[in-house]
Structure 1
């Protein structure tokens, strides 16, 4: 199976994540998209990061009605911070029957050369890149292992959603109803 890997904190998962994942699963040769919930991003120190099990639960609830989307806790049992290359190697070893592609926003390409073993990521799985507003120039436009996928330009962020929650503003339509219900019920981000 050809699988796209969509890494992120998903703190919380929102409609922007879901639209990108669904676009990748339906407008490319990917048969599934796996949300790789990251316990700790090596580039982020986020004090408002919910426990990984809560974020994983929100992702599972958000995608429960779509068989093309799946959540994975692959990084939960790895050293932290988790590095994408290490997770990819583990997944490639565990699922040799699958082909993987890394899904990434174009805004991450300028910093991609700073990632641990970024050249191996390109060699092992390659990138499926979706457009992002204000993406910085990068050197990957013609790279044979990088495929640019037309997708809606969305400028929704988990940071904005968390700020809305703290300020008592509505997050309706920015997150799935089941996620909003869970956030309210468990008093996340207040």
Structure 2
């Protein structure tokens, strides 16, 4: 099975995340997309970042109705700080019959050469790159690489930061979130 890994804090997960993941799983050779919830670093406390399990719960609620999208908490049990390369090794050991690929925005591809063990990632895993809003095409040293696949997906300007700020300001952001996520945030009083 070919699994696309979509890493993020998902603080909160919103419809933009789901649209990109669904577009990739429906229009590529990926069988599933796993939302890998990045744990809060014990060294960097961010006041606006919800607890790991609260964010994981939102991802569960958001993906519950999609059989090709699922949450993944694999990084919760790994030593911190953690690196994507280590997560990939750990997943490959745990699920040897799966082939894991990365999903990233093209803005992240630009700095990919600075990632820990980026060459090992590139040697062993495909990378699916979705477009971001930019001033023209983003040039990288990876253009034309056989393991990097640029995919056509809707360009999403929606951000979790914008959603958090809007909730704090008392704005209605309900259309930007899956209903189950909005209900959870509202019930728990998150980001207010």
TM range (shorter): over 0.9
Q: Aligned pair in 2 of structure 1 residues 45, 117: CA closer, same or farther (>3 Å)?
A: farther
CA deviation after TM superposition for structure 1 residue 45, in Å: 6.3
Aligned residue for 1:154? Answer: 156
How far apart are 1:41 and its partner, in Å?
A: 6.6
Q: What whole-Å deviation, never above 9, does each CA across 1:103-149 have from its counterpart, x for those lacking one?
A: 01111111111111111111121200000112743222211110001
What's the CA shift string for 1:133-178, capped at 9, x where partnerless?
1274322221111000100011110000000011000112111111
Unaligned runs of at least 5 residues, structure 1: none
- The residue number in structure 2 matching 1:114 is 114
Instruction: Give the Cα separation in 1 of the matches to 2:50 and 2:140.
Output: 32
CA positional deviation for 1:46: 3.3
Partner of 1:132: 132
Unaligned 5+ segments in structure 2 are none
Shift of 1:34: 0.5
**How big is the shift at 1:81?**
2.1
Q: Give the conservation status (yes or no) of the 8 Å contact 1:40–1:82.
A: no
Please give the secondary structure, in 2, of the residue aligned with 1:80: coil
1:2-21 pair list within 5 angstroms: 2-21=2-21
Q: How many residues align?
A: 189
Q: Structure 2 CA distance, aligned partners of 1:167 and 1:124?
A: 45
SS in 1 for 2:97: coil
Query: How do residues 28-47 of structure 1 correspond to structure 2 at under 5 angstroms?
Result: 28-40=28-40, 46-47=46-47
**Structure 1: 4+ residue segments shifted above 4 A:** none
TM-score (norm 2): 0.94
Cα shift readout 1:30-87 (whole Å, capped 9, x = no counterpart): 0100110010379x86331100100000000001001001111100001112211110
Q: Find the aligned partners of 1:45 and 1:150 in 2 and give their Cα distance.
A: 35
